[in-house]
Amino acid sequence: MAERQFEMGALLVRGCRRAGAQGCEVAPAGRVLSLCLLIVCSAVQCTSASRPELPPGSPFAKRVAEPESWFTHGAAVGEVTSTSAHVWIRTASPVKVELQWRAVGEASALPKGGQAVQSPWRSTVVETDPGRDLTALATLEPLTPGTVYEYRARLHETGMAGVPAVKAQEMMVGQFTAAPAEQDPTGVTFVWSSDLGGQGHCRQGAAPYSIFDRMGEERPAFAVLLGDLIYADDLCPVPPNAPGGQFVAERLDQFRAKHRYQREAPALQRFLSSVPVYVTWDDHEVRNNFSGPYEDLTAAGLRAFLDYWPVRTPLGEPRRLHRQVRYGKALELFMLDTRQYRSRNSDLDGMGKTMLGEEQREWLLQALNRSTATWKVIASSVPLSIPKGGTLLIPGNDSWARGEDGTGFHQELKLIVDVILARKIRNVVWLAGDVHFAQVNTYDPDKDGKNDFYEFVSGPLSAGTREAVAPVSEFQPTTVFSQGGYANYGVVSLTPTMLRLRIMDGNGRLRFERTFEARPPAEGGF
């Protein structure tokens, strides 16, 4: 019997050596069979067809170590309206996640006795998808306008054989406020900025990106983030930065890794969990000064962007980023996509050149014309009248302004401005970033002594800074503030009658403040 076991063992040893297994040695006859079976199965990845049916605790079941945290990069809430919101999460493995939400402080009476109790949790279940880099986006609805909500995310089921029971106490939590109803006169405060992790200013020190804690202290209703939220085309050298970002992204997995690197900052996680965001992209989500139709990496950059931000694209339009949201009587916000449809920057400015594409431009003009909100805020990643020259590799002006070389997108901007004037659309505010300094401009293109629209520029959040430059435009800009050299963000507080603007530096110190009165609607206009 021992000789027969030895012969079988020798055959298995030769088999496992051919399979490339290491450590195949002839053991004593009494152990060789089990040893080599183990080695060969390990080398060729033997599986049992009956494994899924094995009872819990079976020694043959595949054991998977429970991760330190199932929720790997926090949560993010975004696209909040008066009736719905979206919550983004990412997990360590493909799992089902239950999102629960309820109104804070909302009480209901028990059927017997009438004692008030906290309102019940509503819930929905989503599954994190390996095809989306283990992320998922949950829709919370219906919501009540102007109501404060708390939410929590916890594992619904693992769907993985051998995974230990989920710890019930592990969950992500956050809070947000639904937008007020359309005619609600309640005021609103929001923040905006752009440019995170550029020119080597990445996750540094014990509290990286602490500017988000300063922004959170404003208790804003939401934040507008105007792109360059990764620098896919730039390195984060180590040191002084935390490792993980010292590469240039050229594949989808690398673009996603750039987003994950940013989300590992605790301050950013804290901010995104409780401050709703409306996000668009700019050039460094793909390549410096890129034009979408002419850049091979556009699709990968956009896919990663949509995987990592709580942006809900319309059904049937999975690439669309331009959208609008109403915040009570005071505000309507218009988010632009200045990258996906633009002509080459190097093309000379003229009637055929576009930054928005015809469809997006017409959407904007019609939406502005229909809006009954006092303040119409247009979020553009690039500024109106600050020249932003290109490079020898990517020539041409990258902003709306016309450059000295005749490039730019001024003619398309003029079409938009002409409609604002002709249709008497008042109290238009443009938000911008990208240039790494703060600036506030008022515009009087019809030269009647009254402001027809405004431009507020802020940033960077954490990137190289530069000295401010003067605007160049035929729209009669007046610069009321212009300053560079430090990280910054903007704060806007508005009501149906006024707008208060503040520019804050990265330490939360006030650098500029001004209040603008709303102009009353013109006859036949808004």
Per-residue pLDDT of the chain in tens (526 residues, 90 and over written 9): 444 443 444 433 344 333 333 334 333 344 433 433 333 333 333 433 333 343 444 333 344 445 568 899 999 999 999 999 999 999 999 999 999 999 997 655 455 555 656 678 999 999 999 999 999 999 999 999 999 999 999 988 654 444 445 554 578 899 999 999 999 999 999 999 999 999 999 999 999 999 999 999 999 999 999 999 999 999 999 999 999 999 999 999 999 999 999 999 999 999 999 999 999 999 999 999 999 999 999 999 999 999 999 999 999 999 999 999 999 999 999 999 999 999 999 999 999 999 999 999 999 999 999 999 999 999 999 999 999 999 888 999 999 999 999 999 999 999 999 999 999 999 999 999 999 999 999 999 999 999 999 999 999 999 999 999 999 999 999 999 999 999 999 999 999 999 999 999 999 999 999 999 999 988 766 6
CA 295 to chain centre: 21
Tokens 């970033």 belong to 433
Alpha helices for 465-516 (secondary structure H): none
Residue 366: Cβ-neighbour burial (10 angstroms; 0-12, 13-18, 19+): exposed
Calpha distance 309→137 (Å, rounded)? 9
Which of 136, 272, 256, 116 has its CA nearest to residue 191? 272
361 sits in which H/E element: helix 358-370
Residue 396: Cβ-neighbour burial (10 angstroms; 0-12, 13-18, 19+): buried
Residue 207 CB: number of other CB atoms within 10 A? 11
Name every residue whose Cβ is closer than 8 Å to that of residue 227 and which is 6 or more positions away in sequence.
194, 195, 279, 280, 281, 282, 283, 284, 285, 381, 433, 434
CA within 13 Å, CB half, 207 = 9
Calpha distance 524→526 (Å, rounded)? 7
pTM summary value: 0.85
N-terminal to C-terminal alpha carbon distance within the chain: 98
DSSP 398: -
Residue 235 CB: number of other CB atoms within 10 A? 14
Are the CB atoms for 91 and 127 separated by under 8 Å?
no
Tokens 């506030």 belong to 440
Are the CB atoms for 261 and 269 separated by under 8 Å?
no
Please report, to the nearest 10 degrees, the dihedral formed by the alpha carbons of residues 4, 10, 15, 20 taken in order: 150
Backbone angles phi, psi at 297, to 5 degrees: -95, 5
DSSP 10: H
